Amino acid sequence: MSPTETPTRTPKRVTVSPLRYPGGKGLLYSRLRSIIRDNRLTSRTYVEPYAGGAGAALGLLVSGQVEEIAINDLDSAVYAFWRAVVDEPDEFSQLVRTVDLTVEEWEKQREVYDTAPRDNLLQLGFATFYLNRTNRSGVLNGGPIGGKDQTGNYKIDARFNRDTLLERIRLIGLYASRITVTNHDGRDVIKRYADDANAFIYADPPYFEKAGSLYMNAFDGAGHQSLADGLNLAKSAEWVLTYDNVPEVHSLYAERRRVLFSLNYSAHRVMKALEVMVFSDSLRIPADIRVAGDELLKAGVEV
């Protein structure tokens, strides 16, 4: 089976990530693709300092839009997952093929997730994946789909289609030599690549208002400020940043070009679903992204 694509000539989304991610940016795939094409960035290293499910990064890699990706996450469990899939895809696949999908197994994996040595990448990475696929909404600290008594409409295996997941892991294994996985603070990753003319950074940090308890949030006001300092001072790398549309973002990046966007545009939900994309100075903003942003402004959205 090929990666799941929408049946159009220019897919909005190419789903390769085995992780479900609250707020996942797989849907940003088509916008990033047009930025990469318009700016001829294909041969650069595409860097996600806040990778999470890395939905956009993997979609861009397997569809040939970029040649190499660097994915980073400070959460040691998310990092363990990526290292395990990239470095040990066969062992990981064997676990996916054979693991029980029961509440009893869920309890075991939960225990591993909480207590496994952080350097046992296969064990911790698999437990992270198991919980992500069997928990409600993929939230790692949540409970199993269907509840512990399995009386809900959907059961614990509802999001664990072994064949689909095995195919995604196989694909990642094929591309392993082009994927670098690290476990640093995102700001250090930005520092590392900021002066690298061969890098294109897409930063999707924890948001100001939406972060909540969905995933690890190692950010406070100073964190947002120091991220802005790093990006605003980047000399050579091109970069794009996405955030929630709040006044703080507009003041941190007041000197940069900013465009509004909405991942699931619908007239009555638009006020809620709004986000902002910030661009490094020499990046050309594709017309479709600019026009869509202007339309949101015309629709009366405040910035």
Ligand X SMILES: C[S@@+](CC[C@H](N)C(=O)[O-])C[C@H]1O[C@@H](n2cnc3c(N)ncnc32)[C@H](O)[C@@H]1O
Site of interaction with ligand X (CB under 6 A) = 21, 23-25, 49-50, 52-53, 55, 73-75, 78, 185-186, 204, 206, 215-219
Minimum Å gap between C-beta 265 and ligand X is 18
CB of 146 or CB of 206, closer to ligand X: 206
| Whole-angstrom distance, CA of residue 203 vs CA of residue 230 | 11
Kindly state the tokens that stand for 266: 């619908």
Kindly state the tokens that stand for 33: 């693709």
CB 274 within 8 A of CB 238: no
Kindly state the tokens that stand for 46: 């595409």
CB 257 within 8 A of CB 226: no
CB of 24 or CB of 286, closer to ligand X: 24
Strand partners, 260: 276
Q: How many CB atoms lie within 10 A of CB 227?
A: 23
Backbone angles phi, psi at 141, to 5 degrees: -90, 5
Q: Which of 130, 128, 126 is nearest to 157 (CA)?
A: 130
CB of 77 or CB of 99, closer to ligand X: 77
**At which residue do the structure tokens 């040649």 appear?**
67
Q: Is 69 helix (H, G, I), strand (E, B) or coil?
A: strand
Minimum Å gap between C-beta 188 and ligand X is 8
Minimum Å gap between C-beta 16 and ligand X is 12
Residues 103-120: b if buried by 16+ CB within 10 A, e if exposed: beebeebbebbeebeeee
Alpha helix ranges (H) inside the chain: 29-38, 55-62, 76-87, 89-98, 103-115, 121-134, 162-174, 186-194, 221-232, 247-252, 270-273, 287-298
Q: Is 257 helix (H, G, I), strand (E, B) or coil?
A: strand
Q: Which of 250, 199, 166 is nearest to 72 (CA)?
A: 199
Contacts of 23 (CB under 8 A, 6+ apart): 52, 207, 210, 214
CB of 32 or CB of 99, closer to ligand X: 32
CB of 99 or CB of 116, closer to ligand X: 116
